[in-house]
Amino acid sequence: MRKARPGSWLQAALLCGTTILLYGLLFLLLPRLCPRFYPQSNEASALLLIPLSLLSTAGVLLYELKLWHWMGSDLLLGLMLLLYDGKGLYGIGLRGVLLDGSVPRYSKALALGMILGLLLLMLLLQSLSFLLKRLLQRKKA
């Protein structure tokens, strides 16, 4: 078993802190600053997926962390989403469409499935970023 580098725990702590800040921004601050996009719209979906994707990819490429560090950060995000997902923010847990007077309904079971899907998407993106990082490192060597 290899010993962890001294800076890796600091980077992992920074990753968890960044995850908490990102959650606060996406689920607590932005819905109050831009209420017209919430709970569900194409713009809101972009406001969720773009920062998560960009920060995740950039973090994998910049930090010297293992994939399990990222999985821990994803689980932290999932736990925070389970505790508070905004009852339909970004369409998480909403069943139906807002069309012709019908109103989408919130379903906790659907929210659980959507949160799991989001976490799997993040894990896939991070795994692909790790693969890209390995390929770039091999090309340099």
Sorted by where each begins, the domain ranges of the chain are: 21-27+41-136
What is the per-residue pLDDT across 19-67, written as a single tens digit (0 to 9) for each? 999 999 998 898 888 888 887 777 888 888 898 888 888 888 887 788 8
Q: What's the CA gap between 105 and 98, in Å, rounded?
A: 10
SS3 readout for 89-121: HHHCCEECCCCCCCCCEECHHHHHHHHHHHHHH
**Distance of alpha carbon 43 from alpha carbon 30, whole angstroms:** 12
Residue 78 tokens read as 């999932």
pLDDT digits (tens, 9 = 90+) for 87-137: 888 888 888 776 677 778 888 999 999 999 999 999 999 999 999 888 988
The DSSP code sequence of the chain is -PPPPHHHHHHHHHHHHHHHHHHIIIIIIHHHH-GGG-SS-HHHHHHHHHHHHHHHHHHHHHS---HHHHHHHHHHHHHHHHH--TTTGGGTTEES---TT---EE-HHHHHHHHHHHHHHHHHHHHHHHHHHHHHHHHH-
| Cβ-based neighbours of 118, under 8 Å, separated by 6 or more | 52, 78, 81, 92
pLDDT digit string, tens, across residues 74-93? 999 999 998 888 888 888 88
